[in-house]
Structure 1
């Protein structure tokens, strides 16, 4: 069985993340759901219309649970498992109104996070025969940073820094304002010597300065293969080299022969197409106890 444990920070973020998503969709109330009898119990199925990697079970479960605490979900596909068109991914039984109100929000999470995991799986498989680790970036959908970062790991790739707070990444604008790479690295050491300092460079000359300034890691942005050949002799074991810049899964093999430890790509989380999934009500049954209670209440009024 596949086991993808949610990081604690991500787990704690899910209720608020889901609550915001439901609020923006339902607002003051789902008027279309009022067409459905209040006490109806229904069973629905989420099914696949294309091949993908499943991710987002915790978010989907939270969506349905926030609208109906008695809802029952049965998952037929595990987190991180591939599925094909026609596969029944999950069965949900609960209040029919809640099911139809939850449908779009639940599918949005599942389609987006499964798309992210599927993208990461493609990169992961391409890198399986080399020592390159594939990293994500901060190019995530607003509000879904932790969710997409988790989906990347489900797909088999790795997380770069989560945000602007957990590591230094000195980029072109920082360098311009500080007056140079050496000055920027020195200031970063003074601000927080415990944090990793990475410098993004665009030329071999900048790479040399980053190495001699004492940076912990260097990110080579849009380096050509010939430029990579030139920096080979400057690479030491105590500095991590990462390459980035519109790289696709197909680019991985040609970079694997260089002394690069990591390859990062914004495409993992940015260039994704939502997975085609559907949710359909497959059976309806009356909740007689609730109906009886409702009928009695109506007689009393």
Structure 2
């Protein structure tokens, strides 16, 4: 399991931008006004609910950006599922720097671990069915690499990262192109070298899509009974992905229809931040 968000992710740039947003031009005025410049703090970061972790290295980078000498101990790793009360990180360093970095570190870790935690619930719900959980492009603008990294830490596989790394013909493409067959044939004729996936929402579109050369089907908003029919019609000729309206109450039944993949937008779009705190002890 990779613990790097993406080869294109610039950690230093991300940390710099987030800190600039929080510190403004004047820095942490409260800490400067109340704490001596050489004061030190030790701290323990812990979770206050059961969570799956994502973003520990990124959180640590905020503290290191403001205090190169900060000592950080990490007893757990991204991808771990831990109970409430688990210590995630121990820190010792300059008090002003640690307080200035605290919110940026916690915001990032709480958000990403929230995605990983919800994703793990979905992944656990379909365990043993053979279906693979996928994320989508429904991510916070500017945070896609991180959101999709968190989904991986929770047990999902990444679907398209960007519009240029996959051909996915949706209903609006079909409408403009004039039909499922027309859209698929046009995509194949474009010779992008990429797999051509097409969305179908009716059983009578399946043979049309396959005859036109579709490499994969997105079975959209079909109830389990219809999904079973669709899987039977495809008969293993291409991979099938179920999508649309999937939640924790329905995903197991969807997985048991025999689909190969299930994509769930809400794991990145609607995951609540988890409760993580940083408690200080003056040395």
Query: By the TM > 0.5 criterion, same fold?
Result: yes
SS at 2:40 equivalent: strand
1:128 and 1:233, CA in 2 relative to 1: closer, same or farther beyond 3 A? closer
Q: Does 1:23 align with 2:23?
A: no
Alpha-carbon distance in 1 for matches of 2:190, 2:16: 37
**Deviation digits for residues 117-164 of structure 1 (CA, Å, limit 9, x no counterpart):** 111111111121111001011111222211111111111121111111
Out of 8, 31, 34, the residue aligned to residue 32 of structure 2 is 34
SS at 2:249 equivalent: helix
1:40 and 1:74, CA in 2 relative to 1: closer, same or farther beyond 3 A? same
Q: Does 1:215 align with 2:214?
A: yes
Other-structure match for 1:9:
7
User: Does the CA-based 8 Å contact 2:131-2:258 persist in structure 1?
Assistant: no
Alpha-carbon distance in 2 for matches of 1:182, 1:281: 62
User: Unaligned 5+ residue runs, structure 1?
Assistant: 285-301
User: Does the CA-based 8 Å contact 1:74-1:91 persist in structure 2?
Assistant: yes
Q: Does 1:155 align with 2:161?
A: no
**Deviation digits for residues 41-67 of structure 1 (CA, Å, limit 9, x no counterpart):** 221211211111121112112111111
Alpha-carbon distance in 1 for matches of 2:17, 2:184: 39
Larger Rg: 1
User: Does the CA-based 8 Å contact 2:130-2:260 persist in structure 1?
Assistant: yes
Kindly state the Cα deviation for residue 7 of structure 1 after the two structures are TM-superposed. Answer: 5.2
User: Does the CA-based 8 Å contact 1:111-1:274 persist in structure 2?
Assistant: yes
Alpha-carbon distance in 1 for matches of 2:273, 2:152: 18
1:256 and 1:48, CA in 2 relative to 1: closer, same or farther beyond 3 A? closer
User: Unaligned 5+ residue runs, structure 2?
Assistant: none
Alpha-carbon distance in 2 for matches of 1:232, 1:57: 40
Deviates more, 1:155-164 or 1:187-196: 187-196
- The TM-score, its normalising length taken from structure 1, stands at 0.87
Alignment of 1:149-298 (within 5 A): 149-284=148-283
Give the superposed CA RMSD: 1.8
SS at 1:250 equivalent: coil
Alpha-carbon distance in 1 for matches of 2:156, 2:231: 25
